[in-house]
Each structure stands twice: as C-alpha cells, then as structure tokens.
Chain A
C-alpha cells in the first residue's frame, strides 16, 4: 500500500488542480444560474471535490465511470470535456448529450465516462454490468460506480453487490456519504451508528472507509482498492465521508431552511478539501505559490472560455427532439 507521505508532489498538484477546477466550475454555475439561461435542475458538488479528484487520479483513461444526478465533479475529474458539459447545461447542440440530457445526464465515452443518470441507484447495476463486460472481454480495466448514501437504501444496490461478489467483478464502488438525501438526514433513513462500508463487508465485498475531504487519503485508499481489483480479487467498496455546501438542487445555500444547522455547515467548511490539501502541501514543503497561481489563472481562463463557448453555441433545432430514438 502507498503511504500518503510517499505521494509524489506532482500528484499533489494534480489533485489540487482537479479540485480547484471542479470548484471553479460549480461556483460559476451557481453564480450564473440566476440568469435563467441554464434551464434544468442542477446538483452542485461544491465541498465534495476531493472524492472526484482522488478517485479519478488513480483510474486510467480506459477505465469506466458511471455516476448520478450529482455528476459534474466525476465527469470533469475523469477527463470529460468541460466545454461540452457547460454547453449541455445550457441546452446547446454542442452539449455532451446534444441537449437531450442536461446537467443530470452527462456522457463522454472518449474518456470512459459512460453516463450519469437521475434515478437514485439507477447506475449501480449498470456500472456492475460494465464490470461484467470487462471480465467477459478479458481486459484489465476497472468499472467505477459513484453514488450517494441515499442510493445504498435501494434494493438494487444489494442485488448488484451480490452479483459483483459472486462473479468477482472488477468494480470499484464509491459511496460519497454526505449525510443527506435531499433534505432527509441519515438518521431518518438508516439506523444510527451504521457504517455503510462495514455493513456491506458482511456481504463479502472488500471495503474500507475514509475522510472524503482529504484528497490524499482518498487517493491512497483508492490506490489500494484498485490494486486489489486489478489483481483479480473482485470488487471493492469505499465509503467516503463528505459534505455538500450548497443546496441539494440549485445554486443557493439552504442552511436557513432548517434541515441542517449553520454550525454543522461551518464545521464542514473548516474541512474544505482544497484548504486541507494546501495545508498538507505546505507541511510537506511542496507548496509552490507561483505554481498554484499559474494553476488558478489557467482554470479561470478555461472556465471563462467554456461558458463563453456554451453561451455562444447554437441551440439544437427543434427537429432534433425527434431523432435518435433508435440507433439506425
């Protein structure tokens, strides 16, 4: 197993870059949502960037990823095309799903991002099936499934894990436990004191859990899990504790509506994954302010460009609604 102290400085800057980029994208969406040009439900992952960055830093380009309604971070970290994602949220023809899908339905097959969907639990068996296809095809890829704590309450979660264990599938299950399902806290949905990763380990799947705001912890745990999977030892589930800063769906903050406290939010904000990583880099003396500044301005211009691209791109013509029902 890799020790976090052994992580190459290059990887650290890559993790930082990835998280900052995701943050910038999400916060720009939030800032501009009120222009009412992005006309679709949009679930932001601000605060949860470390899981996306840490997991995808380990995955290869040809590994598969499937995800949920909250997919922006996963899509970007896996290498999905930023311009095409923003264009999709704007409903433009150049969008990654040609305007048919919107924020909740992203795809970029060129980097193994096989699709995100909006029904909770819906892609857990799909990612498992991709894992099965890898086994059948005899390649050494991995299929990674991102989902939330809420999704572990669906029957299909257990059914999929059962099959993955039975067939020793190369599937990496990543549960981002952000404590809430919409406005429902874990305590009204699952018994107190439960650890999702421990619970499923009794089904027979190798599992572990960790701090989802600590990018290097995520990274090292994923390295370990991926090694296990690529050695043919079967599926692995990782549960990461994290927190979404903004409202469940939409651009605002919603600590005032009463389902969670401002204190709780502030406590998690103190564990800002970007800040945590910067501190770690400082402690290890690999923080290079000049380099970080370069990264910041790179991101700023890239995000700016992506939004300009989306805004100036044409809408699909109305007839496009009535094509692609079947593959011809």
Chain B
C-alpha cells in the first residue's frame, strides 16, 4: 500500500513537472478559499488586483462553505496536488500541516517586512512555529458584537445602549411588547458557541477567559464563570422566535435589516450584509460590544502556503505574502470584508465606526482568541456539542452543565 502511494505521488509530481515546464516564467499561484459571499469575494479581489499589478498570475479555486473548502484542501494535500495558497484561520488548525512539513515558511518575507514590529505580539506568536513564520495574516474579526436595528429600538422606545445584562433583558421585554422578535438567533452550533464565548468574556474577564481556554483551568472561579454564562444563555431562549433552529447567520441579519428583530449576536462580518442592503453603521443600525464586556473575542484569517515542489509557485507565494501584508491592502481588504486590519500601524481613519471600536480594543490588547485559535478542531467540535446540547436541551440546570464543561478539553 505504501509503495503504491509513493508511486502515485511520484506520478503526480512528474506530471506537475511537465506542466510547469510549459508554463510561463511569471509567478503563478492557485488560491483556494471559501470567500464567496459578496463582501468576502470583493475583499479577496483586493489582494488579487494588487498581486496581478506586481506581475503575478492568479488562479482562483473558490469553494463555498468553510468546511467544504477545508475538505477539498485536505484531499488535495493527501493526493500530493496541493494548491499554492489556502485561506484558513490562524491557530491550531494549521499546526498539523506545519508539523508534517507540508507548508513553506515565509520567514524571509516576514523578516524583510519587519512583521514582528507591526503585528500585535500575540498574532506574531500564532503565525510562527518553532521560531519560523508560516502564515500571512489577512485580517481579524471581532466576535463580541451585538448589532441592533435602530428602527426596532425606536419602535420599542429604547433610547440608549444597555450597560448591563439586566438592562439588556429589560430592553428585550420592551421589544417583545412592541411585537418585535427581540433576538434574531442564528441556530447553528458554531453560532451558538460564539454567543457563549462573548457572554463568558463578559462574566470572567480577559484573564479568566484565557485561564479557561488556554490554561484549561478547572478552579471554582472558572466553573462559576461558566455557570453564570450558561444562566444568561438559558435566559436568552425566551427571546428568540420559533424558526431559530438551524438558521443561517445572514438570514438572522436580514431580520434586523427589515426591522423584524431587535438585536443579533454575531461577528463583524455581519456588517457586510448591512452594507449590501444599503444600510449604514451608526445610522440605520448600531454596533456594541456585549454588555459588561471589557474586551473582544477575535478570530484571525490568514493565507497558508503548502509546499508544491514548484519553483514558480514558491516565488509566487512570497510575492503573495508581501501583498497581503501591504498596509494599503490591509485597510482596503478590511473595508470590503468588514474586518479589522492586522497591522497596528495602518491609517484607521477610513474604517467605519464599528471597525474603529474594534481596532481600538485590538491596539489596547483587550482581546481574547476565539476557540478555533486555541483549541484543536476536535475540541472545537466538542465545545459546539456542549453549547448546542445545553441550548436545545431546554435544561436549566446550569450548575451540573458547568461541571461537565471541562470534558470538552479531553
């Protein structure tokens, strides 16, 4: 079996050799991404335009759906036919590939561009493995956001943003009384986990959050924090509509756009939907970090560079890494995607009000990583199961659920 596999791989490599002999000398790269929605595609196009301007040849292989793109990428890697670049989150998902020696380091580009100085330290640590830089960060998303429809708030007579969870729930009651769905709930496990995390951060603070997810600390303080989080989460069940189960996040955003619902808990990519619908931040809709939260949960995207054994692609990978970290590209990309630039030294004046708030928190270091950054994909799945089971199980026993929480890390 093993020799057969080797023969097969050799064959593929040989075929690749022939193909490259015919290709032009221009740095050509195939990019695999799952950025297919309106805002995402526009953002990817920013990178593409600059890359082509600098003499690169761009081949797009976009696949809709994060999981689908990941599965296709895994298959291509196993078949020995890796694409030149892949969009993926920064974090443990890439670690396996790097440890198996499947990715090219981009250390020289990072050194020449002084990435260590312009990126937040935590990000620079996350893109480095064994002291070498492997991933090129594209942008960060804040995930602690509550978006609200100003029209719905107006109808319900809510004058200002709530400062505490108690005020928040009082506002939900007002929305309910006005015949508006208080919370546009996205009923998929990954979305529910994001809400769990943003509440958790508001309850345990930045240090407590890191203790739980990074140190896997099982002290009483951590258990109590999880318990308080589950209590708030359980209370939210009373404010969602009957069609919430399985709902996509963009369908939930649409409920805010049409003022059928009051608020949505979501990452800042939801802004893209508002923009496409012609709504402006601060005017038609508002954005705030969840009440009582001293910081923001973030997730960061990057480009991965698999080894292809093709010199032209290696050259293209380096060019692409340079383009992605270009300050102008970072800002333009963030504007289109609704994200926050990764570089700390960019011109923030162009960003919208929400992104500026996010960039401030980022620069102040008031951020904690999303579970995809600090947990393995298996642990992420177990966490999704845990939150989903609590949410849909209609059990209000937060105490015993909190005790079970730490099984997620096993």
Partners in one complex: no
Interface residues of B (CB under 8 A from A): none
Interface residues of A (CB under 8 A from B): none
